Structure 1
């Protein structure tokens, strides 16, 4: 996809998102909002119909004979899913499981258009093997080919297989046959119903924005209504502030049986994007910094820098999954210098999309984070062990 087309798509996405959350008013905005509401009613019917077709076995799912853990959410973007997937993969691996993470690779480079069209015209199954981001030993693809999250997971988990394919049944078979995997983690898999077996559904709920504005796509950010939490085996409240009694009660209305685990995103260290040098969290304390991000909820990231003592003098936000150009990064460097920033801080998810730079007048670091469980640790440990001993 060309840079100009990508930029246009991002502008449209940003505009629609501002309409959805109410940041834009006047003009044609009420008309567009009404249109989106109508489309969301149609979307809701489609979601319920699809679920009914699976329940009635009209649409058939597949069993591969291994453990399947689907980790996802009801809403789009910003729940902090990737660190939770990483935590599950690490715990399962440490308890002896041979783990593969299966991702659809959002905004990864798709197969050639000619090949995709030919498969559709001839009604034939795509025989292309899944993309192997990591074989459990080596990182084999770049972030543009693999997608941001799969590349980041493969970078952090060098001894876990990471595969990318829209067809995760095919990817699962490949993981079992080629790598001997006995546990499949479906990244963003709560709505992927083609793969069943011994399946566990883990659903993430963002403490700050649990159910968005309450509307389904495209009027809101919900992929499914909150009542579908009833399917969850375990529920994670992410970015918890500890004051979750009302949210827990709301969740219990839909699923009173699933254990609820609360977690926060815990910073570990800062790492230079280009040299790999690691520094402690005291790096930014009392120092002027700039923030650069292309994620769903940049406010949470920027607030985290402030909590670590950084003095934020400039922040530049791009659309979620934005692939930075060299000129864009250089522009951020120039503006940061004008504000007397001593360094630029970004996220690890953004760092994997950085271009090579001809000049680096300011050091650029990403903040490495992991999840820290603050409530329900015993439930989490018991849950992981139960998965591991179900052979």
Structure 2
């Protein structure tokens, strides 16, 4: 990890500790007060922007096809990628020609010295060409160029076009013109207001729905809770069959009385070896000493899921969200694993696409946990939604 990257991660950890009141003393009260003041300004900007779209000061555009937006109102992992998979497969099954359009968070362009110098002096123009991650038949970009989520979706959704551009109107038009799609799924699209009309699916993490109910940067909300009123459907993620979500649903109903609820959970399926794609059953973990590695917004769900299969967790390595792992970092983790006599390293599927090509794993297998989204309740609501989207 480079010096600047390490400093950036340390700052992010510090700010999160301040937000969640895990730190006290020193400059913490001053930092907290500053963050809350900035949150007020951020909320004002968010609401002015929304008002501008509602009144027509800022224009919206229709692409002439079905648009499904899947997003959230908080930062961090609510399970958008598995939700996109579920909707894409269901729409594809009904005969729709589907494209996933993403902004490609932390995707990069190919490095050249000329490009670097232009970027340094702010001379780099906007990307003219939409990035095609997959045409539904072939994957053209790796995770570094495409972004983690678009690359994962391209691998897991054969027959679905995946394109990336910060201008998602341009990306959508490209997908329609070049690939003849009739349905576009906006990955993380709840805050992307220029495209209308559309069907808004909003994900809410039942384990931490709205954080401390404050907006960025003193909380995790991207918009005020009143903006829950835009959602057409709520996916309550990370639910459990015995969860009582009455209070959460009541809170949401204060702002949105019409959208229906679907409760869903992330179900662990199997372990996949990242070097040869061989598969192990989850029972493989029972009683074994393992190390956990993650670079996601909230790793607690992943860690608890692994712990439920009965391993002895000898080491936990947490990195910043979307961290791109180096060979040196992984080898250091494996070296530490040999000292602790671990039998395996386990990471998330999202992290696995950011692992380097490993020449050697020092005799320790490295697996990622494959998960899928499963509906606990609201199957009829989901099917009705898909039918409406397909004009049935």
| Map 1:196-275 → 2, pairs under 5 A | 196-197=196-197, 199-241=198-240, 242-275=243-276
Q: Secondary structure at the match of 2:218?
A: coil
TM-score w.r.t. length of structure 2: 0.94
- Greater shift, 174-183 or 336-345, is seen at 336-345
Moved over 6 A (4+): none
Task: Name the structure 2 match of 1:163.
Answer: 163
**Contact preservation (8 Å) 1:139, 1:158:** no
Counterpart CA distance in 2 for 1:56 and 1:201 is 20
Deviation at 1:285, TM superposition (A): 2.2
Task: Name the structure 1 match of 2:67.
Answer: 68
- Greater shift, 13-22 or 226-235, is seen at 13-22
RMSD: 1.6
Deviation at 1:335, TM superposition (A): 1.8
Counterpart CA distance in 1 for 2:122 and 2:192 is 23
| Map 1:90-129 → 2, pairs under 5 A | 90-110=89-109, 112=115, 114=118, 117-118=122-123, 126=126, 128-129=128-129
**Contact preservation (8 Å) 2:266, 2:371:** yes
**Contact preservation (8 Å) 1:102, 1:163:** yes
Deviation at 1:6, TM superposition (A): 2.8
Q: Deviations over 1:257-286 (max 9, x none)?
A: 111001110111111111111122222123
Task: Name the structure 1 match of 2:173.
Answer: 173
Counterpart CA distance in 2 for 1:127 and 1:210 is 35
Deviation at 1:306, TM superposition (A): 1.4
Q: Secondary structure at the match of 1:220?
A: coil
Counterpart CA distance in 2 for 1:290 and 1:39 is 38
Deviation at 1:295, TM superposition (A): 0.6
Deviation at 1:245, TM superposition (A): 1.3
The size of the alignment, in residue pairs, is 383
Task: Name the structure 1 match of 2:30.
Answer: 31
Q: Secondary structure at the match of 1:254?
A: coil
Asked if 1:142 is matched to 2:142, the reply is yes
Deviation at 1:11, TM superposition (A): 2.2
Task: Name the structure 1 match of 2:381.
Answer: 379
**Contact preservation (8 Å) 1:21, 1:213:** yes
Counterpart CA distance in 2 for 1:355 and 1:28 is 39
Q: Secondary structure at the match of 2:254?
A: helix
Deviation at 1:127, TM superposition (A): 6.4
Q: Secondary structure at the match of 2:207?
A: coil
Task: Name the structure 1 match of 2:182.
Answer: 182
Deviation at 1:243, TM superposition (A): 2.0
Counterpart CA distance in 1 for 2:351 and 2:298 is 13
Counterpart CA distance in 2 for 1:243 and 1:78 is 21
Counterpart CA distance in 2 for 1:293 and 1:373 is 25
When residues 324 and 240 of structure 1 are mapped into structure 2, their CA distance, relative to the original with a 3 A threshold, is: same
**Contact preservation (8 Å) 2:275, 2:358:** no
Counterpart CA distance in 1 for 2:63 and 2:173 is 7
**Contact preservation (8 Å) 1:67, 1:387:** yes
Gaps of 5+ in 1: 121-125
Counterpart CA distance in 2 for 1:301 and 1:338 is 24
Gaps of 5+ in 2: none
Deviation at 1:311, TM superposition (A): 2.4
- Greater shift, 110-119 or 73-82, is seen at 110-119
Task: Name the structure 2 match of 1:54.
Answer: 53
Counterpart CA distance in 1 for 2:383 and 2:281 is 29
Deviation at 1:248, TM superposition (A): 1.1
